[in-house]
Amino acid sequence: MTGWALLKHSFGMVERNFGAAVRISVVLMILMMVVSFLLSSWVVANAQVLVSFGAAGAVAFQLVIGLISMVITAWIAVAWHRYVLMNEAPRGWIPTFHGSNIINYVIWALVLTVTYVLFLAPVGVIAFGWLFPEISQPGGTPDAGPGQVALIAIVFLICFLAAIVVLARFSPVLVSRALGQRLGLSEAWKATQGSSKAIIGLFFWSFLIGFVVMFCLSFILALLGGVAGLIMLPFMIIAQWFLSIVSISVVTTIYGHYVEGRELSLQ
């Protein structure tokens, strides 16, 4: 199994179920943007109130926005996982709110995010201390040669890819919560045994396609400029929406293929 096969199946999943993808996600994504806009507008209109709370107020505001975004994103992801893997078709334009499943999904998403950060943070600290040892000395200044920078960049890239593999192999835990199951980390790791190479390939192709799409749209937007550039804005939003749904589909594909043993459709 290759990374391209996993990605192609995920693209096909969205293409074959485009109508359902729209009904499951569009209204909730609009809701998320509206809520973020209203909260941001409130901050602008009540800046003095927020300033009076100091840094704690700013942090709390960001946490509120982040939590709302995570819940709505989890709502979409849970609905999509259940539609694809359990044939739970959406009723209307707002998917069913499976409260406990969504809460568990958010909790485990936070656990995996913290795991990712803790995995890379020590590497970053060690790299910084190795590249800039003079900073810890009084009056010292950073002095890193190109060889050091290149070496640490390679090490960081390797660690970054390792973290991506770990997250992807643990991702079935998220999908299982969406389905109302309780797959453990060790079970997810065992089920995805032998998938590391495919996951790295999947990340490469996903990054490449996403970068090319957004770069081309941003370039056209900058080229047109002014009012004409606004014409491209809806296309950028649609592209971001599509890539987001494909990302959720990738996680769905990993679970369906490696945990449930489903065959991939490569047509």
DSSP secondary structure string for all residues of 117-179: HHHHHHHHHHHHHHH-GGGGSTT------HHHHHHHHHHHHHHHHHHHHHHHHHTHHHHHHHT
* Residue-level pLDDT at 131: 58
Question: Burial code of 166-188, b = ≥16 C-beta within 10 A, e = fewer?
Answer: bbbbbbbbbbbbbbeeebebeeb
* Residue-level pLDDT at 98: 92
Percent of the chain past pLDDT 90, that is, above it, reads 28
Tell me the two tokens of residue 109.
Answer: 């998403």
In this predicted model, what pLDDT tens digit does every residue of 101-149 receive, in sequence order? Answer: 999 999 999 998 888 888 777 766 766 666 555 444 555 455 556 666 6
CA distances from 174 to 107, 129, 197, 231, 254 (A): 9, 35, 21, 37, 11
Q: Would the pTM of this model clear 0.85, i.e. be above it?
A: no
d(CA 259, CA 253) in angstroms, rounded, equals: 10
CB atoms within 10 A of CB 62: 10
Give me the chain's average pLDDT, please.
Answer: 82
* Residue-level pLDDT at 225: 67
More confident call, 133 vs 210: 210
- Measured distance between the N- and C-terminal CA atoms of the chain, rounded to whole angstroms: 15
* Residue-level pLDDT at 243: 86
Check whether 190 has a pLDDT greater than 70.
yes
In this predicted model, what pLDDT tens digit does every residue of 40-82 receive, in sequence order? Answer: 787 777 667 666 666 666 677 778 888 888 999 999 999 999 9
